[in-house]
Chain A
Amino acid sequence: MTKQVTLTIDGRQVTVPEGMLVVDAAKLAGIDVPVFCYHPKMEPVGMCRMCLVEIGRPLMDRNTGKAVLDEKGAPKLQFLPKLETACTNPVSDGMVVLTESEKAKAGQKSTVEFLLTSHPLDCPICDKGGECPLQNLTMAHGPGRSRFLYDEKMHLAKNVPLGELIYLDQERCIQCARCIRFQDEVAGDAVLGFDERARSTKIISLSDPEFDSVFSGNTTDICPVGALTTSDFRFGARPWELDASASICSQCPVGCNITFNTRREAKTDGRVVIKRVMPRQNEQVNETWICDKGRFAFHYVESKDRLNRPLLRKDGKLTRASWEAATKSAGGAFAKAGKNLVVLASGRLSNEDLFNLKALADQVGGRAVLYSNMGGGNLTSLVGAGQGTNLGEMGRGSTIVVAASDLYEEAPLWYLRVKQAAGRGATLIVANPRATKLERYANYVIRYSYGDEVKTIQDLTKKSRIGDAFVKAENAIILFGSEGLGLEGSTALATVCARALHDTKHVGKPNNGLIGVWQRANDEGAWEIGFHPEENLQAVFDRAAAVYIAGADPFGDGLLKIKNARRKPFIVVQDLFETETAKNADVVLPAQAYTERDGTFTSGERRVQRFYPAVPALEGTKPDFVITSQVAKQMGVILEGTSAAVVFEIMAEDHPSFAGLDYAALAEVKSQWPIVGRGDLYYGGTTYENKQGLGAPLSNAAQRAEKFSLPRVQKVAALRPRERKLLAVPITRLYDRGLTLSGAELLEGRIGEAFIALHPAAAERFKVRPGERVQLRLDGVSEEAPLRIDDSISAGVVLVPRSMGLPIHKPTEASLKSIKKAAGR
């Protein structure tokens, strides 16, 4: 245990761990030392001079090394003539800190006065007004009136885009460098810097494209003034008009805790709308951060194109119908289909939705199919991350393996936390066929060839330097993804990872186990509930009598087509939008967005977390689990269809991993460090305090000490492309054309066009140049895309991004030619 140090702050005795800074020790004791540049998640720099305090240290006798005592027998204190910064001085035994002495208060007051000399004081039109540290600290510590002449204020640009997502108001900036330091220290994308000096000092973006980081939005949360604002929220509302609803981000398997800020407004016909997404503190999940996808890509739930009426196919056309007629039609078809019913659902749905869907399938003996082309969820049920796992605590002695995943693009917060763990001394092994950002922080980088995943992981358990780093680690986590893999390949990879962890006894305990970098927010929950993906979806579809597709668009994704219109199954689609799949449906059921209802998601780390309704439901829609229960009712099956909480309780009885959990348990909170929240804006930023629940981790079979055997690793025949052909492999990008990004106009530039990438030698071989549009023939489909170069891959490979309109779901043989040539032929 760390040594404890006892000091006195404003007459209060405080005992804190050695090495803690005075400002944090004060905070722990409930004493607010005002700060601007200091942030508890970053190294102190002491530049704003707001936290000036008096610090007395016991006078030590140089000869005896003991404290010198005064006539009363108390240790004599030595104060420096200068005020000291509470943010740069670590605590020491016997220290006496005065934060409210006249001298300290005068120092703090003078800093506020200095800061305000060049501040525009445009609070009435400032987005930060109402949640602004400068505003609050001015009220608390500043002088009441200005001695600086208004006409002498420096006028600077108020409208400087630092990239398309974040705007800088140079007048409001107080040069605290929190944004610069966040990008450098926390995000690892050092893309901001200062330009000029003295009073002309200004923040600039150093990258091309500007502000090239997926964490950029966080800088607006920690900006202690209104200098940095998001293009999304800028001039959109005043903070005090906003309601706050707790939720979970649905963009990836991390499960970041978020807060939806909503407002009823005239602009949108008096509807309550989401104005912004803010991080909500959960130190075990996302700390106080979220990525830009989570922050800016929520607009799809408010799309004008949302379905708001059930539809029934009548005379070949989808026409409006009542809920009664639509559910009756669906229920009738499902009852008739019996064991030939296929329920196809995705991890976009909540645990409760998936549980009811699975229950409906089970009732008639049908199949529950997960809409995904990544395998391994059966293994995380057995040897997933143990309860108590916290990437934020892993460090020396721990080893983290990231295999076949580009975490920066697939799960940004995991990237950030794994990077931080490596910074604390954890051994990081990155195994990926191409270069990724995470490699910069890795102790060992393994670049294998696409197709060599299994062998690469098997080698980890063998005797070697890297092998020892894994095998002998006190704790070990493997995060596996689906870089370059389809269902078959990722299943094999997951299996070999599970075996490696199991064989080295890195399962069934905290900070050990397997984590899937899934493609959707609740894939882990779907697997847990009993959904499994199918390699050949088309075959399953073709054999079915009826299919119930929820939260998935296989037709739009090119994974299903109707081969024979007369022998096709009865199709029921439940979704937010009239997708390509819905257009082929016999019944369409309009679902509620997750922002309109309550429910739970299970993160890749197996943490079940609650989301709450943020906005009133779109009229005419129902939550998925309710719709399923109404369809079931038409089949004579009773499923809980009123309360998500009750569905969860039934599920908890049914599934040992969920045992003992209920909504109340998931809503439990405990105190977290650093302290954040509305009253502590100046300290932690505008991130929300977590009052609505930290969620709870699911148990796994290994931790329950159940007997189980891991499956054998299935040999996957490596695809060897013929001569003059390429091996096309899928890669994942954060910003893609997926449904959850539709309507995020702000991100349009970042999504860009689907590109493909080749090794420079391959480009030469095919006589194509970077930037040139090329024709790629995949699975019999020809698509055009601009070419990029990636010299970290092998020459026989072409990288194809998922969900960008190119039909790639697994490693596939492809041919490529330049368009110029194609046109010439």
Chain B
Amino acid sequence: MSHILLRHRDIPEISSLNVYRKNGGFEAFKKAVTKMKPGQVTDLVKASGLRGRGGAGFPTGVKWSFIDNKVWPHYVVANADESEPGTFKDREIMESNPFQFLEGVAIASYAVGANTAYVYLRGEFWQAAQFLDEKIAELEKAGLLGGRLFGTNYSLRIHTHLGAGAYICGEETAMLESIEGKRGQPRIRPPFPAVCGLYGKPTVVNNVETLTNLPMILANGADWYKSLGTPDSAGVKVFSLSGRVRKPGNYELPFGTTFRQLIYDHGGGVQDGRPVKAIMPAGASSSFIVANDQVLDTKMDYASVRTLGADLGSASVIVIDDTVPLDWVIHKTIHFFKHESCGKCTPCREGTYWMMHLIDRIPQSGYLKADVDLLLNVATQMQNKCLCPLGEFSTMAVVTGIERFPQDFRKA
């Protein structure tokens, strides 16, 4: 099957506007602007069953329909922060299939009546930002972005905005703060961005991959998209596969592909032929799944993964084999979250620091049970108390690691 998102793998030079347009590029956007009302675009996206690819999996069309039409202007922000360890799909899309992504931004903007859209990239993506700037300039020159598009009254400008290297800015409200030039820290929700977002105005924040789906959905229809994937999770997903696999990388597959298919058929299996011990399906903020045959044959869609006590999230599948002790893995995740906690709320700021001390001393103290119990207790104590979801994320690996792999936290 040919790719829907990673189309550059099928069509050489799709990152040039000519090639992109020869392959139907910007027809979808043109159709939306000239032939559809914004509400119709939203309804179509609702009908397609497209869900947010940033991790939360919230239905995209529904999110758009929350936008407050009494307050103007509206904004669209493309979340290209991609900071989750183990996630590297948005970068490939932006670097290799940039126009499809930008067309997606344009369609979303039209759907919610935004005349300004921002692409927020993590600071390390400065080359991608430059690249997108060039592409945006090309689009403006070609009359596909700018004022009075396709002879209508609709106009749209897209700007890129670079972050300064903070994980938290992938959280949508922290991202908005950052675009406003403030310290990147999450806001209290509610109000949600759809009501009070960028500069206090109604704002839609969508992930890069989510947006990149839109041109194809508009071109081929909701039913076509729904026919891909599972009833609960329509369409395709780019799975970022990493860890102890032979062929790590991005794999665009329909929802419902099993872990086994991803790891063995596409990823070439585990290095040295070792057995899979644990899977982190959503990067560093995942729960650990205890791998076994039944798990490996589980379909990767939002509902099925939840039955394994984890979330599919951004589908950044990290494979852990039996050579890797889990206390080592959570040592990595805890240090990451301790470093990246924004410091705004107490449980995350203090809890990650405390967990760091505990995980540092646990191997040194010979896996003292009291320390392991305390670590589990501290992580549990952080849960349901943080200001934003990222604080909670820092505890997922810790809690599930200790609970599901107790042998890794005992003296050998």
Chain A residues with CB under 8 Å of chain B are 44-50, 52, 81-83, 85, 88, 107, 110-111, 113-115, 117-118, 147-149, 152, 154, 174-175, 193-194, 196-201
Q: Tell me if B387 and A49 are in contact (CB < 8 A).
A: yes
- Which B-chain residue is minimally distant from A111 (CB atoms)? B346
Task: Using A45-B188, A47-B387, A196-B343 as known contacts, list a sample of 4 further A-B pairs with CB atoms less than 8 Å apart, ordered by residue number in A.
Answer: A46-B345, A148-B357, A174-B346, A194-B343
Which residue of B183, B352, B381 contacts A110 across the interface (Cβ within 8 Å)? B381
Chain B residues with CB under 8 Å of chain A are 166, 168, 183, 188, 338-347, 349-354, 357, 374, 381-382, 384-387
Q: Tell me if A44 and B188 are in contact (CB < 8 A).
A: yes
Which residue of A83, A114, A175, A197 contacts B351 across the interface (Cβ within 8 Å)? A114
Which residue of A50, A52, A148, A200 contacts B343 across the interface (Cβ within 8 Å)? A200
Which residue of A118, A149, A193 contacts B183 across the interface (Cβ within 8 Å)? A193
B183 contacts across to A, CB distance below 8 A: 193-194
A115, B343: Cα distance in complex, Å: 12
- The 14 listed contacts between A and B (C-beta, < 8 Å) are A82-B384, A82-B385, A110-B347, A111-B347, A114-B351, A114-B382, A148-B354, A154-B353, A197-B168, A198-B338, A198-B342, A198-B343, A199-B341, A199-B350
A194, B188: Cα distance in complex, Å: 18
Q: Tell me if B345 and A48 are in contact (CB < 8 A).
A: yes
Q: Tell me if B346 and A198 are in contact (CB < 8 A).
A: no
A198 contacts across to B, CB distance below 8 A: 338-343, 349, 352-353
Q: How far is the CB of B178 from chain A (nearest CB, A)?
A: 12
Q: Tell me if B354 and A114 are in contact (CB < 8 A).
A: yes
Q: Tell me if A149 and B384 are in contact (CB < 8 A).
A: no
Q: How far is the CB of A427 from chain B (nearest CB, A)?
A: 22
A113 contacts across to B, CB distance below 8 A: 381
A110, B383: Cα distance in complex, Å: 11
B351 contacts across to A, CB distance below 8 A: 114
A-B Cβ contacts below 8 A, count: 90
Q: Tell me if A81 and B384 are in contact (CB < 8 A).
A: yes
A149, B365: Cα distance in complex, Å: 14
- Which A-chain residue is minimally distant from B183 (CB atoms)? A194
B386 contacts across to A, CB distance below 8 A: 49
A88, B382: Cα distance in complex, Å: 19
A194, B384: Cα distance in complex, Å: 25
- Which A-chain residue is minimally distant from B338 (CB atoms)? A198
| Most chain B CB within a 10 A radius of its CB, from A113, A114, A193 | A114
Q: Tell me if B343 and A197 are in contact (CB < 8 A).
A: yes
B347 contacts across to A, CB distance below 8 A: 49, 110-111, 114
- Which A-chain residue is minimally distant from B381 (CB atoms)? A110
A806, B354: Cα distance in complex, Å: 60
Which residue of A111, A117, A200 contacts B354 across the interface (Cβ within 8 Å)? A117
A149, B362: Cα distance in complex, Å: 13
B168 contacts across to A, CB distance below 8 A: 197
B166 contacts across to A, CB distance below 8 A: 197
Q: Tell me if B350 and A117 are in contact (CB < 8 A).
A: yes
A197 contacts across to B, CB distance below 8 A: 166, 168, 340-343
Q: How far is the CB of B30 from chain A (nearest CB, A)?
A: 38
Q: Tell me if A115 and B346 are in contact (CB < 8 A).
A: yes
A148, B381: Cα distance in complex, Å: 14
- Which A-chain residue is minimally distant from B340 (CB atoms)? A198
A113, B351: Cα distance in complex, Å: 10
Do A199 and B384 contact each other (CB < 8 Å), given the known contacts A46-B188, A118-B353, A154-B353? no
Q: How far is the CB of A166 from chain B (nearest CB, A)?
A: 21
A88, B353: Cα distance in complex, Å: 26
Q: Tell me if A111 and B385 are in contact (CB < 8 A).
A: yes
B343 contacts across to A, CB distance below 8 A: 175, 194, 196-201
A194, B374: Cα distance in complex, Å: 31
Q: Tell me if A83 and B384 are in contact (CB < 8 A).
A: yes
A45, B387: Cα distance in complex, Å: 10
A93, B374: Cα distance in complex, Å: 41
B354 contacts across to A, CB distance below 8 A: 114, 117, 148
A197, B341: Cα distance in complex, Å: 7
- Which A-chain residue is minimally distant from B380 (CB atoms)? A110
A85, B188: Cα distance in complex, Å: 10
A284, B384: Cα distance in complex, Å: 41
A125, B247: Cα distance in complex, Å: 60
A107, B357: Cα distance in complex, Å: 22
A464, B357: Cα distance in complex, Å: 68
A115 contacts across to B, CB distance below 8 A: 346, 350
3 shortest interchain CB distances as A-B pairs: A201-B343, A114-B350, A198-B341
| Most chain A CB within a 10 A radius of its CB, from B346, B351, B352, B381 | B346
Q: Tell me if A46 and B387 are in contact (CB < 8 A).
A: yes
Do A49 and B357 contact each other (CB < 8 Å), given the known contacts A198-B340, A198-B343, A199-B349? no
A152 contacts across to B, CB distance below 8 A: 357
Q: How far is the CB of B163 from chain A (nearest CB, A)?
A: 13
A193 contacts across to B, CB distance below 8 A: 183
- Which A-chain residue is minimally distant from B383 (CB atoms)? A82
B345 contacts across to A, CB distance below 8 A: 46-49
- Which A-chain residue is minimally distant from B353 (CB atoms)? A199
B385 contacts across to A, CB distance below 8 A: 49, 52, 82-83, 107, 110-111
Q: Tell me if B341 and A48 are in contact (CB < 8 A).
A: no
- Which A-chain residue is minimally distant from B378 (CB atoms)? A147
A196, B349: Cα distance in complex, Å: 12
- Which A-chain residue is minimally distant from B352 (CB atoms)? A198
A224, B384: Cα distance in complex, Å: 24
Q: Tell me if B350 and A149 are in contact (CB < 8 A).
A: no
| Most chain A CB within a 10 A radius of its CB, from B166, B347, B386 | B347
A196, B166: Cα distance in complex, Å: 11
Q: Tell me if B188 and A49 are in contact (CB < 8 A).
A: no
Which residue of A47, A111, A114, A199 contacts B344 across the interface (Cβ within 8 Å)? A47
Q: How far is the CB of A225 from chain B (nearest CB, A)?
A: 13
A46 contacts across to B, CB distance below 8 A: 188, 345, 387
A111, B384: Cα distance in complex, Å: 12
A88 contacts across to B, CB distance below 8 A: 188
Q: Tell me if A149 and B346 are in contact (CB < 8 A).
A: no
- Which A-chain residue is minimally distant from B348 (CB atoms)? A198
- Which A-chain residue is minimally distant from B370 (CB atoms)? A147
Q: Tell me if B357 and A118 are in contact (CB < 8 A).
A: no
A117, B382: Cα distance in complex, Å: 13
- Which B-chain residue is minimally distant from A177 (CB atoms)? B344
B342 contacts across to A, CB distance below 8 A: 197-198
- Which B-chain residue is minimally distant from A85 (CB atoms)? B188
A198, B384: Cα distance in complex, Å: 19
B346 contacts across to A, CB distance below 8 A: 47-50, 111, 114-115, 174-175
Q: Tell me if A149 and B357 are in contact (CB < 8 A).
A: yes
A49 contacts across to B, CB distance below 8 A: 345-347, 385-387
| Most chain A CB within a 10 A radius of its CB, from B339, B342, B349 | B349
A50, B339: Cα distance in complex, Å: 23
A115, B352: Cα distance in complex, Å: 12
B349 contacts across to A, CB distance below 8 A: 114, 175, 198-199, 201
A407, B387: Cα distance in complex, Å: 39
Q: How far is the CB of A295 from chain B (nearest CB, A)?
A: 29
Q: How far is the CB of A104 from chain B (nearest CB, A)?
A: 11
- Which A-chain residue is minimally distant from B339 (CB atoms)? A198
Q: How far is the CB of A450 from chain B (nearest CB, A)?
A: 38
A200, B352: Cα distance in complex, Å: 12
A38, B215: Cα distance in complex, Å: 46
A201 contacts across to B, CB distance below 8 A: 343, 349
Q: How far is the CB of A758 from chain B (nearest CB, A)?
A: 35
Q: How far is the CB of B129 from chain A (nearest CB, A)?
A: 22
- Which A-chain residue is minimally distant from B341 (CB atoms)? A198
B341 contacts across to A, CB distance below 8 A: 197-199
Q: How far is the CB of A397 from chain B (nearest CB, A)?
A: 24
A175 contacts across to B, CB distance below 8 A: 343-344, 346, 349
A196, B183: Cα distance in complex, Å: 10
- Which A-chain residue is minimally distant from B392 (CB atoms)? A82
B381 contacts across to A, CB distance below 8 A: 110, 113-114
A44, B386: Cα distance in complex, Å: 16
Q: How far is the CB of B59 from chain A (nearest CB, A)?
A: 17
A82 contacts across to B, CB distance below 8 A: 384-385
Q: How far is the CB of A197 from chain B (nearest CB, A)?
A: 5
